[in-house]
Amino acid sequence: METSKLLLEINELLSTYCGDCLVKAALRKEYHKTYAHQFCIQKCTVGEQLKELGKQLTYAHKR
């Protein structure tokens, strides 16, 4: 996939699901920012999608 398409898809996911995420907000309030960030990266399905797109972006950039 092209770099620009990957970036658009990443941006769309972030704006659609992450901007107003109640889980992230609750975790930040109850624990701290780092804990919430780790949850997003390791346990959230959207975070998993973002990681995969990031890998594709890295691969596309290296070509």
Cα separation, 54 vs 25, in Å, equals: 23
pLDDT value for 61: 72
pLDDT tens for each residue of 10-58: 999 999 999 899 999 999 999 999 999 999 999 999 999 999 999 999 9
CA dihedral 23, 29, 35, 41 (to 10 degrees): 30
Residue 43: per-residue pLDDT: 95
**What pTM did the predictor assign?**
0.80
Q: Which domain holds residue 24?
A: 3-62
pLDDT on residue 44: 96
In this predicted structure, what is the pLDDT of residue 62? 73
Residues 18 and 24: beta-carbon distance below 8 Å? yes
Q: Rounded CA gap, 49 and 55, in Å?
A: 10
What total of structural domains would you count in the chain?
1
Q: Is residue 63 predicted with pLDDT exceeding 70?
A: no
What span, in angstroms and rounded, lies between the C-alpha atoms of 5 and 42? 24
